[in-house]
């Protein structure tokens, strides 16, 4: 039982990051199909890496550079997997007028003008939001934001069906059960304990709103989600979470 769950976790870690996993972890469609429950746990690890880089860098350089290095570390660890999904999704939804054309554009590995502009704006937005946070809140925000945003992406898999017969998210999972979503929620929400309760609540509210908006667009436009949609959800939900933390009502 424990070995099986570890295999699921390491499968998610291998799929979503560049981090090494033990050699005994095998490759199987069934294991990958169950690994999505650990998506937010992988986010905790990625966020922790970003937080550690920020803490270390802040001893030597100004806050702005420390934030930039922390973001660069998380992008490197994940291989820009989710950023690529965000750019592809915006390209598809911006340039495609039909479901088939939208999916075709999203499958193209080349980045278009819509995707390039959206990616620059999103990265700049996350950078500015983290810089505006109190110095002591940046590291906790990175940990909580990366975990929660991956829970948001996981929730899309629960509420929508997969829109393709193939694709980079297809081997991972096509649907997760309520029990798997509950486990994912535990990992996705635990990081919020590091933040002031009111700020955390606003962060969750903003992230949930962004997820609901994208889920509705995916359902209406594609009749489901793709791997790029999951990456886009993670990215926008993470940014929205930081915006919630900065809300003047907190």
Pick the residue with more confidence: 163 or 49? 49
Q: For the packed helices 113-132 and 135-159, what is the interaxial angle rounded to 10 degrees?
A: 140
3-class secondary-structure state, position 162: strand
CB atoms near residue 220 (< 10 Å): 9
Position 174 confidence tier, pLDDT thresholds 50, 70, 90: low
Residue 110 has pLDDT above 80, yes or no: yes
The answer to whether 51 touches 143, Cβ cutoff 8 Å, is: yes
Cβ-based neighbour number of residue 250 at 10 Å: 15
Euclidean distance between CA atoms 234 and 250, whole angstroms: 23
Question: Would you say 184 and 176 are in contact if contact means Cβ atoms under 8 Å apart?
Answer: yes
CB within 8 A of 192, min separation 6: which ones?
144, 148, 200, 203, 204
Query: Can you tell me whether residue 25 is helix, strand or coil?
Result: coil
Query: Would you place residue 173 in the very low, low, confident or very high pLDDT band (cuts 50, 70, 90)?
Result: low
Phi first, then psi: give them for residue 247, nearest 5 degrees. -55, 135
Residue 106 and residue 104: Cα distance in Å, rounded?
A: 5
- Segment 205-236, tens digit of pLDDT: 999 999 999 999 999 999 999 999 999 999 99
Could you tell me the pTM of the whole model?
0.94
Q: Write the CA distances from 53 to 74, 76, 142, integer angstroms.
A: 9, 12, 11
pLDDT at 163: 87
Confidence of residue 177 (pLDDT cuts 50, 70, 90): confident
At 162, phi and psi to the nearest 5? -75, 135
Listed in order, strand segments (DSSP E) in the chain are none
Q: Which residues lie below 8 Å from residue 67, measured CB to CB, with a gap of 6+?
A: 54, 127, 130, 131, 138
* Structure confidence at residue 170 (pLDDT): 52
Determine what percent of the chain is predicted with pLDDT higher than 70: 92
pLDDT for the residue 24: 76
pLDDT at 30: 65
DSSP state at residue 61: S
Residues above pLDDT 90, as percent of the chain: 75
Question: What pLDDT was estimated at residue 250?
Answer: 56
């Amino acid at each position: 039982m424990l070995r099986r769950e570890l295999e699921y976790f390491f499968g998610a870690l291998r799929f979503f990051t560049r981090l090494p996993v033990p050699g005994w972890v095998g490759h199987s469609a069934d294991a990958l199909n169950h690994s999505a429950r650990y998506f937010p746990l992988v986010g905790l690890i990625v966020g922790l890496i970003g937080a550690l880089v920020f803490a270390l860098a802040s001893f030597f350089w100004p806050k702005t550079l420390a934030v930039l290095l922390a973001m660069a570390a998380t992008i490197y660890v994940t291989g820009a997997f989710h950023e690529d999904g965000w750019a592809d999704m915006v390209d598809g939804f911006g340039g495609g007028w039909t479901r088939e054309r939208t999916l075709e554009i999203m499958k193209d590995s080349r980045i278009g003008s819509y995707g390039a502009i959206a990616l620059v704006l999103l990265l700049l937005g996350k950078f500015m939001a983290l810089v505006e946070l109190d110095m002591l809140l940046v590291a906790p925000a990175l940990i909580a934001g990366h975990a929660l945003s991956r829970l948001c992406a996981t929730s899309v898999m629960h509420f929508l069906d997969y829109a393709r017969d193939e694709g980079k998210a297809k081997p991972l999972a096509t649907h997760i059960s309520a029990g798997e979503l509950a486990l994912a929620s535990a990992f996705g929400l635990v990081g919020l304990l590091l933040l002031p309760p009111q700020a955390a609540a606003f962060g969750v509210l903003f992230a949930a709103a962004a997820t609901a908006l994208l889920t509705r667009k995916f359902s209406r436009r594609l009749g489901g989600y793709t791997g790029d949609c999951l990456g886009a959800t993670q990215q926008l939900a993470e940014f929205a979470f930081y915006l919630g933390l900065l809300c003047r009502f907190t």
